[in-house]
Structure 1
Amino acid sequence: MMMPAYSTPRGSAYVGDSRELLKQLPDNSVNLVMTSPPFALQRKKEYGNESQEAYVDWLSEFAKLVYDKITEDGSFVIDIGGAYEKGRPTRSLYPFRALIKFVDEIGFHLAEEFYWHNPSKLPSPIEWVNKRKIRTKDSVNTVWWFSKTPWPKADVSKVLAPYSDRMKKLIQDPEKFYTPKVRPSGHDIGRGFAKDNGGAIPPNLLSFSNTESNGKYVSGCKAVGEKAHPARFPSKLPEFFIKFLTEPDDMVLDIFAGSNTTGETAEKLGRKWMAFEERREYSAASAFRFTDESDDLQWVYESILKGDHINLETRQTSLDVNQ
């Protein structure tokens, strides 16, 4: 039986190897798996990452299990960063090898590729960008959207982008700002595009800075003297896909949860969620995302480290319940 490290009104966080935890879930029970695994970088990171040579096979072990657990109209969204080959200013092909293996061998469909641009990312890698100045700053991650069938649940009207000021003026007075013309292709645009649809269709280039320096999670880590997870993605990234690909009360799962940004975002959006994280200290600190000012953060953190289950709705631990 799966025992969560902590739970909230809508979700639960579990500590363990995601491969083992996934096996315990019923098939066709998860609407969206949204995650960012450790990347295949040349240098070993403190949060754990596989070498480029072993990475594709390692990641595929998780993907095979995910395929069985998502619903027929469900989605698997994975943020995967690029890397350079060791000692050379040429790019590794591991993200593309993973993509091809997921589709050709596991059976996923590539619904669409997205690109997450992080404007605040520091110039890297240092050797090629800062020292020798022969490459540009690597500030884009690929985000693969996989589906079990060609027809996953999706509604782009839930993620419309704000209109530009010019578009707002055009909608208010189309005659003043635009005269319909037939394009060279023969396509007649007409005036239909001047209708107010509540926002613009977003592109598959998503630009979100990753600069969180405060908030409950970071302040909670400081309060108990622990370092925050070093590889967090911004909440706007899972927010986009949760809104786009799920409905209220759908189940969202992150299999490399880290600081559990996905779970917090799902909770705020009225979805059910699960978070799987192998390192207990990361899971314990992620509980700070769901605490309030009256909570004893040291008690929360240490209780989860000891293996107690905390219900953050009632503020009881498994020990309290069993006494």
Structure 2
Amino acid sequence: MNEDIYLYNDNCIKVMQKLPDNSVDLILTDPPYNIGNFMKDRQTNLNRMRKNFFVGAGWDNEDYHDWLGNMTQFFVEAHRILKTKGTLIMFMSVLKVESIIELAQTTGFYYKTTGIWHKTNPMPRNMNLHFVNSNEPWLYFINDGKTGTFNNKGKLELDFIQTSVTPASEKKFGKHPTQKPVTLMDHFINLLSNPGDTVLDPFMGSGTTGVSAVSNDRKFIGIEVSEEYYKLSKRRILNNSI
């Protein structure tokens, strides 16, 4: 789009393969969790959910071995394009945390920790059937090193981050079923990168990482395979609006 913002409507592996070595400071992303088929068999009221809920949409229903293969390719390219001691933050289902850690370690990443994003106002889905899910894991890796940028300024930073879910004000250009709030991405971008750094989101979705990166004076590369969500991301990022 300009020298500081590059947006691609394409498969992320294809685009990442064209990016230069050692060109990205931070990868902050929310890939498919590969739990669509698993969730279909759960005792839930999904038939009442909106039609674009990820379980019914089909884009998270990949065969597990195919998903592992694709994520392996992702980590190979992420290792190449991230700078030495660059950071990778990835949201992931708790069911797949072990798989992701193993893949990352085999491709040159140092595993730092698994943290939690706690949603203060989660959707009360299936509240009369079981505990309401209010936590979502994120994983923290360093590329070819054991520590990277960490702008805590002497403040204790916990691996437990608490925010509300995405407010309606951040969905005025359109909605995504797994959209994250801007304040959550702000937390990671300000802590783990510096102004002028390049932030990459290979699974851009609704573009929240891009909105946060641009508003915090970072360069941004975003990749989204869905044309619908690419257009949504483009509208949000170019308007620099939440």
Do they fold alike, i.e. is TM over 0.5?
yes
Residue 210 of structure 2 aligns to a residue in which SS? helix
Structure 2 residue corresponding to 1:63, chosen from 55, 75, 82: 75
**What is the letter of the counterpart of residue 56 of structure 1?**
L
- Displacement after TM superposition at 1:51 (Å): 4.2
Partners of 1:291 and 1:25 in 2: how far apart?
22
Match of 1:302 in 2: none
Map 1:121-160 → 2, pairs under 5 A: 121-124=122-125, 126=126, 130-131=128-129, 133=130, 136-148=131-143, 149-157=145-153
- After superposition, the C-alpha distances for 1:214-245 in whole angstroms (9 at most, x for unaligned) are 24xx2233xxxxxx211101112221111111
Partners of 1:65 and 1:47 in 2: how far apart?
25
- Displacement after TM superposition at 1:287 (Å): 2.2
- Displacement after TM superposition at 1:269 (Å): 0.4
**What is the letter of the counterpart of residue 243 of structure 1?**
N
Larger CA Rg, structure 1 vs 2:
1
Match of 1:118 in 2: 119
Contact 1:31-1:250 within 8 A present in 2 as well:
yes
CA RMSD of aligned residues (A): 2.0
Match of 1:235 in 2: 182
Match of 1:78 in 2: 90
Partners of 2:188 and 2:73 in 1: how far apart?
23
Contact 2:214-2:237 within 8 A present in 1 as well:
no
- Displacement after TM superposition at 1:289 (Å): 1.5
5+ unaligned residues in a row in structure 2: which ranges? 41-54
Match of 1:261 in 2: 208
Match of 2:9 in 1: 15
User: 270-279 or 230-239, which moves further after superposition?
Assistant: 230-239
- After superposition, the C-alpha distances for 1:252-276 in whole angstroms (9 at most, x for unaligned) are 0000001110011000000000100
Partners of 1:202 and 1:69 in 2: how far apart?
27
Q: TM-score, normalised by structure 1?
A: 0.63
Q: Does 1:206 align with 2:200?
A: no
Q: Does 1:30 align with 2:30?
A: no
Partners of 2:22 and 2:133 in 1: how far apart?
37
Structure 2 residue corresponding to 1:219, chosen from 151, 166, 172: 172
Contact 1:80-1:95 within 8 A present in 2 as well:
yes
In structure 2, the CA distance between the partners of 1:50 and 1:9, relative to structure 1 (3 Å rule), is: same
Q: Does 1:46 align with 2:47?
A: no
Partners of 2:136 and 2:231 in 1: how far apart?
27
**What is the letter of the counterpart of residue 272 of structure 1?**
K
Q: Which stretches of structure 1, 4 residues or more, deviate above 3 A after TM superposition? A: none
- After superposition, the C-alpha distances for 1:59-79 in whole angstroms (9 at most, x for unaligned) are 222111101110002111101
Q: TM-score, normalised by structure 2?
A: 0.83
In structure 2, the CA distance between the partners of 1:95 and 1:249, relative to structure 1 (3 Å rule), is: same
Partners of 1:257 and 1:70 in 2: how far apart?
17
**What is the letter of the counterpart of residue 64 of structure 1?**
V
Contact 1:8-1:290 within 8 A present in 2 as well:
no
Match of 1:300 in 2: none
5+ unaligned residues in a row in structure 1: which ranges? 1-6, 83-91, 158-196, 222-227, 293-323
Give aligned pairs, total. 220
Residue 68 of structure 1 aligns to a residue in which SS? helix
